[in-house]
Amino acid sequence: MSAQPLHFVSPAQFRGRVSEALADDGLRDNFRSAMHFLRDKRASQFPDPVETEALRDLGEAVRKHALAHLPALLEKLEANLQARGVEVHWADTPDEACAIIHRIATEAGARRVIKGKSMVSEEVELNHYLEARGVECLESDMGEYIVQLAGERPSHIVMPAIHKTKQDIARLFEQKIPGVGYTEDVDALIHTGRQVLRERFMQADIGISGVNFAIAETGTLWLVENEGNGRLSTTVPDIHIAMMGIEKVVDTLEHALPLASLLPRSATGQAATTYFNLISGPRRPGDQDGPRRMHLVLLDNGRSQAYADAQLRATLQCIRCGACMNHCPVYARVGGHAYGTTYPGPIGQILSPHLLGLEASRDLPTASSLCGACAEVCPVRIPIPSLLMRLRTEANRAPGAAVAQPLAGQGASFSLGQKLVWRFWSGIYASPGRYRLLRWAATRLRRLAPRSQMGWTQHRTPLVPAARSLHDLMKARARGRPGV
């Protein structure tokens, strides 16, 4: 898990990065312990299975309801925000989203941006875009700040710097922050970071934040956080720009409540986060503080492709808690950077194909044992294994095949050779006669079983068929010779 370039990596690099991540045993053990710690913390917040399942049902229902009425709710959200003086912008692509924000900054003559945590801003690579145009962006979430200081990308959607040890951070601060010495004292490290950030909040022209739930009925943006940086980013600078994917809307305040309970418990194992910010527009006459202008940027970036498909739409139920990655045996072994996507882990594996196309992300849907740990903890019951299988099917589809809702990059994994192997396989297993022949050959010629069996024998001894198949044994039994 070395330093990341700013841009997404290619599928070829996915495998390379996996090998790199797996080669470092010490790091792997540390990281896996961190995941186990997070699993235990989450479990401690859900002691009662009946209550848990009822709440998950509610969370799922709320999200499904929102998606079933998505266009209408987005229009309602826009109208209610506008009535409160919020300027609403729509972006189809990452470039459009960045350009909108750059235009706002230019018009205001803004040079300095302070950012609360926003995965959508990571998705559109906003920092990179603005820095290249002379606008300075500083991450104010401690994890994001660390990752930015190190020139990396987040490796987890809730804990961006989870891949770093305190020694890594001590060295980083010593190198990058003038006048700071090496210390492994976590409180001292956090104090250092906070001091740097505190000054910058006061200097910033624009504060940028994400959104956890956007409530259509009231025109409210709900933001959860633990550090207070989200509140500062959204209240101190003169301009606040919030960013969200179009799926984050919910119908009513009441609908947001179960999600607000599920999110911190699933994400960090907290009953509630330290801050709940409910933001309903810029400063009004008579207000003592708050931004003078407020904007919301709504991003599509492939989400409408998932929305258009009845099964894949469930991808958009996600509330970005990260529990799926904490519980994933693959994520726990390879870490977030290996995926090369903004959203790593199981949710990233089902979301990224819509954001980036299946061509660029074709190795992701297959990188799962389909163990189901993700779906078991998902607070809104996204059937992640089924969606992974569906994406595998779409990736395998013949590129030209006519389907009602083609996915970008459909057929990216199609190979005539593989298709023929599966045809051949099904031809054997669907035919009793051919399968009998296979059994006969496998058991009689078992000594000829190859010593090298593709990926299997990289980590295991070879498989050798038995001398007699179960079919043979049952046949012998039926003939009254059960002893054989």
Partner 1 sequence: MHAVRPPRPDQVYLFGTCLIDLFVPEAGLDAVRLLEREGLTVHYPPAQSCCGQPAFTSGNPDEARRVAAAQIALFDQPWPIVVPSGSCAGMMRHHWPTLFDDDPALQARARDVAGRVHELAGFLVEVLAVDYSAAGGEPVTVGLHTSCSARREMGTRVHGVQLLSALPGVTLDTHASESECCGFGGVFSLKHADISGAIVRDKVASLSAVCDRFVTADCGCMLNITHAAEHQGRPLRGEHIATFLRRRLEGAA
The β-bridge relationship of strands 213-215 and 220-225 is: antiparallel
Subset of residues 177 to 216 that bind partner 1, contact rule: CB under 8 A: none
Distance CA 365, CA 371 (A): 13
**Binding to partner 1, residues 369-408 (CB under 8 A):** 369-373, 375-376, 389-396
Beta carbon nearer to partner 1, 218 or 396:
396
226 near partner 1, judged by CB under 8 A: no
Residue 381 Cβ vs partner 1, minimum distance, rounded to whole Å: 13
Interface with partner 1 (CB under 8 A), residue from 11, 290, 406, 465: 465
Q: What is d(CA 240, CA 282) in angstroms, rounded to the nearest whole number?
A: 8
Please, which residue, 188 or 438, has the CB nearer to partner 1? 438
Contact 224/273 with Cβ under 8 angstroms? yes
Rounded distance, CA 346 to CA 102, Å?
32
- Using CB under 8 A, which of the segments 2-10, 207-215, 301-309, 449-457 binds partner 1? 449-457
State phi, psi for 88 to the nearest 5 degrees.
-110, 130
Binding mask 10-29 for partner 1 (x = CB under 8 A): -----x--xx--x-----x-
Q: In the complex, what is the shortest distance from the CB of residue 364 to partner 1, in angstroms, rounded to a whole number? A: 11
Q: Which is nearer to partner 1, 133 or 477 (CB)?
A: 477
Say whether residue 1 binds partner 1 (CB under 8 A).
no
**Minimum distance of partner 1 from residue 388's CB (angstroms):** 9
288 lies in the binding site for partner 1 (CB under 8 A): no
Q: Which of 292, 403, 431, 444 binds partner 1 (CB under 8 A)?
A: 431
Applying CB under 8 A, which residues contact partner 1? 15, 18-19, 22, 28, 32, 36, 329-330, 333-334, 365-373, 375-376, 389-396, 413, 422-423, 425-426, 428-432, 435, 439, 442-443, 454-466, 468-475, 477
